[in-house]
Amino acid sequence: MDQLVCKNLKLGYENITLTEDLSFVVEKGDYLCIVGENGAGKSTLMRTILRLQKPLSGTIEYNDDLTASKIGYLPQQTVVQKDFPASVYEVVLSGCQNTLGFGLFYSKAAHKRASDNMERLGISDLAKWCYRDLSGGQQQRVLLARALCATEKMLLLDEPVSGLDPKVTSEMYQLIEKLNDEGITVIMISHDIACSVKYAKHVLHIGNEFFFGTVEDYRHSSAGKKYLEEGHHHHG
């Protein structure tokens, strides 16, 4: 089933067009990696899918009951969060905020959901820890658990491994793969092209060159060849 259908998207801000004629489809259970140069509009695309901003033109169709509140989002960390006094449990529970509605407090179901997702990501024992005292990898797990509280269907990850050391990075990738195997659609922005290609099913390359297709086709495409080559050099 096609969960997300983007047609002829034109993205950018008032006077600046970042990218045009963007059409792609995300199927249920897909693992899509969005790659491209800095400033190509990757984050803008993600913000547009999340309905945080409107496309300049074109349409996005959401199927499979993917209302705005049913997409889990892992944003890049902000400065504010670095020294934020919040317990891990409070942060994860805030992922259930779409269940609050006009209610004032979280339901029992929401609390259970938060605990379950912490269990799922192996951070149950950190529940009472302060978010700011955690390592980068632990913080990402917490934010991932929060995103899972918001959705069972689709995760949007904005550079989930940036700033993590290689060991933690590969653990994070395995975790994401596990979630994908459980049936959650994953859309991920990444700079780490080599790993993206290793784990993803489809690749969307935007910027100077456009590519959308399977990972296998990407390896043989002109955009893919050039980019993978560069990535290879970067990583020595």
Which among 134, 141, 118 is positioned nearest to 84, based on CA atoms? 134
Q: Where are the beta strands (DSSP E) in 53-180?
A: 57-62, 71-74, 154-158
> Of 8, 17, 23, 69, which lies in the binding site for other proteins, with binding defined by CB under 8 A?
69
* Phi, psi of 111, deg, nearest 5: -60, -40
CB of 86 to other proteins, least distance (A): 5
CB of 194 to other proteins, least distance (A): 28
- At which residue do the structure tokens 């994908």 appear? 180
Report how far Cα 14 is from the mean position of its chain's Cα atoms.
25
Tell me the HSE value of 175 on the side-chain side, using a 13 A CA sphere: 26
Residues of span 156-215 touching other proteins by CB under 8 A: 156
Please, which residue, 147 or 197, has the CB nearer to other proteins? 147
Residues of span 90-109 touching other proteins by CB under 8 A: 90-91, 94-95, 97-98, 100, 104-106
> Of 2, 8, 17, 51, which lies in the binding site for other proteins, with binding defined by CB under 8 A?
51
CB of 10 to other proteins, least distance (A): 21
Of 14-22, 71-79, 116-124, 178-186, the window that binds other proteins (rule: CB under 8 A) is 71-79
In sequence order, the 6+-apart residues with CB closer than 8 A to the CB of 131 are 81, 84, 85, 86, 87, 88, 91, 139, 142
Q: List residues near other proteins by CB under 8 A.
A: 50-52, 67-69, 71, 73, 75, 78-81, 84-87, 89-91, 94-95, 97-98, 100, 104-106, 128-130, 133, 146-147, 150, 156
